[in-house]
Structure 1
Amino acid sequence: MSFKGLHRGLLIALALPVLLMLAACSTKSSGNIVEGKVNVVTTFYPIYEFAGEIGGEDVNAINLLPVGVEPHDWTPRSQDIINTSKAQLFLYNGAGLEGWVPNFLKSLESDSETKAVEVSQGVDYIMTDEEDGHDHGEAEAAENHAAEGSSDSLHTDPHTWVSPKSALIMAENIKESLIAVDPAHKAGYEERYNKLAERLQALDSKFETELAKMPNKEIVVSHQAFSYLARDYGLTQHAIMGLSPDSEPRGQDLVNLAALVKEEGIRYIFFEELVSDKLAKTLAGEAGVETMVLNPVEGLTEAQEKNGDNYFTLMEKNLQNLILALQ
């Protein structure tokens, strides 16, 4: 097919609605305050999982994000404000993921003693200077450093947790926040955090070892959610869509990506189970390659929850798919 024909086909794909079907952890997503425990309100799945693992029986974790909602665009309800006002801790990712947080915190009840913690603090943030959020490779990302100013910058990549290295920093922040509000159970928090940290360190080592063996380093993904993973493990990410999975790519970007796929001998276009795969499949079809899942772990589908999946099982599947694609 000619580039002109490809351009037309991709523009038609752009006109199709991007169906967002994210289901971020349904467990306790509409939970209630429990007296006698440390009530921890979290904004989306990875933080909820880590808070529950570190908190153990001392904590009642409530995940705000309901089933079927994408975290980039979600806004809280009045009941969420009431619950959070009564909680001891409010844990959010920060780095621009939850743009509603400043107003949400201002809306808490006047007598609320809830401690708000941005759990991505301490991660070396990746910044993008492109307003539409499109990624044209990681060349400039390697030179980006931590954002010392506002972490709510529209150009901060918020997908910190997708790298086990960053997830380890986030887990430590969660542990410290629990100890700060409930020092009586410090020993338990430390013990459970240490077990979680060992698992994250083992996952990190496995990513480093396995991906270092791969002859290819280029990945094409549907949503620019893998910059931290790419930076930390020596990969180069090219994204069809920007930082938000419902951002619209330009037709010319897709034409350029199709050319890149052919030139670099890339064999797979990665898509997400929780976001429409139409653009990824269109690009793959035009470039003559296959598609495969790479999960940004923003939440669980109902099937994944039923199967007992979690951050670790999803990241293990990501690693196996990366190995297959990069051979």
Structure 2
Amino acid sequence: MHIFGLPTCRAAIFLFVLFLSLCNPCLKASAAGDNAVKKTVIATFYPLYIHLLNIAGDKIKAELLLSPGVSIHDFSCKPSDIKKISGADLMILNGASLDDFAMKFAVNYAGSGLKTIDASYGVELISASCDGGCSHGHEGEKSAGHAVGAQNAPSDPHTWISLKNAALQVNNILKALCETDPANAGFYRENAAAYAKALAGLDKYAGEKLAPFKGSKFMVFHGSFAYFARDYSLVQSSIADVFGNAPRPSKIKEVYDLIKAGEVKFLISEPAYQNKEIKALAEQYSLSVIELDPMGSYEAGKASKTGANEKSYYIDVMKSNIDKLAAAFGGAKK
């Protein structure tokens, strides 16, 4: 006894062929979607690149303008860098005059469809002439969006060394990605929300960890932690200015006066600098030295070369900075 009669078998074959013909366009569409050309998004330097990876994942072609290990203060554009910029759909800048060099090139390619975004849009800027305790100059002024470098006087460009500012930067990058690649907007929003939650959690942790030391001073070589200091009511003092320039004699005197008065209990070095002045002061006044990383250069290069999890790099380094600083303040109080 046959299970299928001949007419039934023919009908089954017809239905199977019809099914394949209906599915074929779907399969082609899926393949086309998988092979769709990804948008190219370039971040000027490493911390912004990390934010970009956390939001965009593999939905874009992410590019980094500065090679890991290169300080943005020492950067100069090469022909290969200009080629990167010219081939991008979106370029993410820090703003606050840090990467004006890239903006100049971006203007030349605006006609080709290249968009730019100031990631620090909405950040309350600190004057370049101020340390963490300064409350005049540009304090309270907000970064002016795409008009990078438009301020009348220079601002402290280290906006990313603040978890609160990082949350603003993530939101600005998210908006730019959604405008550039609306097809993946839902994916970007979901990732950005998870990343922002992690940043907020670490900010809360930092607030609790550093709360006992409100008003305390710390001294760095290069004045890059003013925004961090403001977040947790600390006071940064620096030897060199925010751009890493050699200190004036009046600044050197101020540094010595602070140390002699006992207002500075330890010194902070950075991986990007030789820190000769820090080492000399530490030896002269028997002060301990800790290393904090503003993520602009050397340690970022090490992380990339050793295959560390890049997406967690910003949060990992910020937590390390918080823990080291809290431990140094705690030790100084004993």
Into which bin does the TM-score normalised by the smaller protein fall? 0.7 to 0.9
The answer to whether residue 281 in structure 2 is matched with residue 283 in structure 1 is yes
Give distance in 2, aligned partners of 1:146 and 1:286: 39
Which of the two has greater helix per residue? 2
Deviation at 1:307, TM superposition (A): 6.4
| Amino acid in the other structure paired with 1:258 | Y
Counterpart for residue 81 of structure 2: 80
Unaligned regions of 5+ residues in structure 2, if any? Answer: 1-34
Give distance in 1, aligned partners of 2:284 and 2:184: 57
Counterpart for residue 322 of structure 2: 319
Taking the TM superposition and a 5 Å limit, the aligned residue runs for 1:136-215 are 138-140=133-135, 144-147=139-142, 151-152=148-149, 153=151, 154-214=153-213
After superposition, the Cα gap between the structure-2 partners of 1:259 and 1:104, relative to the gap in structure 1 and judged at 3 Å, is same
Give distance in 2, aligned partners of 1:267 and 1:163: 23
Deviation at 1:120, TM superposition (A): 0.5
| Amino acid in the other structure paired with 1:222 | F
Larger Rg: 2
After superposition, the Cα gap between the structure-2 partners of 1:95 and 1:139, relative to the gap in structure 1 and judged at 3 Å, is closer
Counterpart for residue 238 of structure 1: 237
* Correspondence for 2:262 among 257, 261, 264: 264
Q: Does structure 1 conserve the Cα–Cα contact (< 8 Å) formed by 2:65 and 2:84? A: no
Taking the TM superposition and a 5 Å limit, the aligned residue runs for 1:27-176 are 36-108=37-109, 111-128=111-128, 130=129, 135=130, 138-140=133-135, 144-147=139-142, 151-152=148-149, 153=151, 154-176=153-175
Give distance in 1, aligned partners of 2:198 and 2:190: 13
**C-alpha distance after superposition, 1:178-233 (max 9, x if no partner):** 00011111110011001100110011111111111236611101111111111111
Deviation at 1:117, TM superposition (A): 0.6
Give distance in 2, aligned partners of 1:47 and 1:136: 23
Counterpart for residue 249 of structure 2: 251
Counterpart for residue 223 of structure 2: 224
| Amino acid in the other structure paired with 1:269 | L
Q: Does structure 1 conserve the Cα–Cα contact (< 8 Å) formed by 2:131 and 2:223? A: no
Q: Does structure 2 conserve the Cα–Cα contact (< 8 Å) formed by 1:212 and 1:233? A: yes
Deviation at 1:136, TM superposition (A): 5.7
Deviation at 1:257, TM superposition (A): 1.1
What is the DSSP-based 3-state SS (H/G/I as helix, E as strand, rest coil) of the residue aligned with 1:72? helix
Q: Does structure 1 conserve the Cα–Cα contact (< 8 Å) formed by 2:217 and 2:235? A: yes
What is the DSSP-based 3-state SS (H/G/I as helix, E as strand, rest coil) of the residue aligned with 1:259? helix
Give distance in 1, aligned partners of 2:170 and 2:300: 23
| Higher RCO (CA 8 Å, separation ≥ 6 residues) | 1
Q: Which moved more, 1:216-225 or 1:146-155?
A: 146-155
Counterpart for residue 28 of structure 2: none
After superposition, the Cα gap between the structure-2 partners of 1:141 and 1:326, relative to the gap in structure 1 and judged at 3 Å, is farther
Question: What is the count of residue pairs matched by the alignment?
Answer: 287
After superposition, the Cα gap between the structure-2 partners of 1:67 and 1:197, relative to the gap in structure 1 and judged at 3 Å, is closer
Give distance in 1, aligned partners of 2:143 and 2:173: 21
Counterpart for residue 303 of structure 2: 304
Give distance in 1, aligned partners of 2:199 and 2:85: 28
After superposition, the Cα gap between the structure-2 partners of 1:266 and 1:120, relative to the gap in structure 1 and judged at 3 Å, is same
Deviation at 1:84, TM superposition (A): 2.0
Q: Does structure 1 conserve the Cα–Cα contact (< 8 Å) formed by 2:127 and 2:155? A: yes
Give distance in 2, aligned partners of 1:54 and 1:212: 31
**C-alpha distance after superposition, 1:90-141 (max 9, x if no partner):** 0010101013134212332x7511111111101111124x4xxxx4661435
**C-alpha distance after superposition, 1:232-256 (max 9, x if no partner):** 11000000100112x0102342232
Q: Does structure 1 conserve the Cα–Cα contact (< 8 Å) formed by 2:100 and 2:148? A: no
Counterpart for residue 8 of structure 2: none
Give distance in 2, aligned partners of 1:124 and 1:319: 22
| Amino acid in the other structure paired with 2:254 | N
Q: Does structure 2 conserve the Cα–Cα contact (< 8 Å) formed by 1:50 and 1:171? A: yes
After superposition, the Cα gap between the structure-2 partners of 1:142 and 1:244, relative to the gap in structure 1 and judged at 3 Å, is closer
After superposition, the Cα gap between the structure-2 partners of 1:185 and 1:211, relative to the gap in structure 1 and judged at 3 Å, is same
| Amino acid in the other structure paired with 1:315 | M
| Amino acid in the other structure paired with 2:292 | L
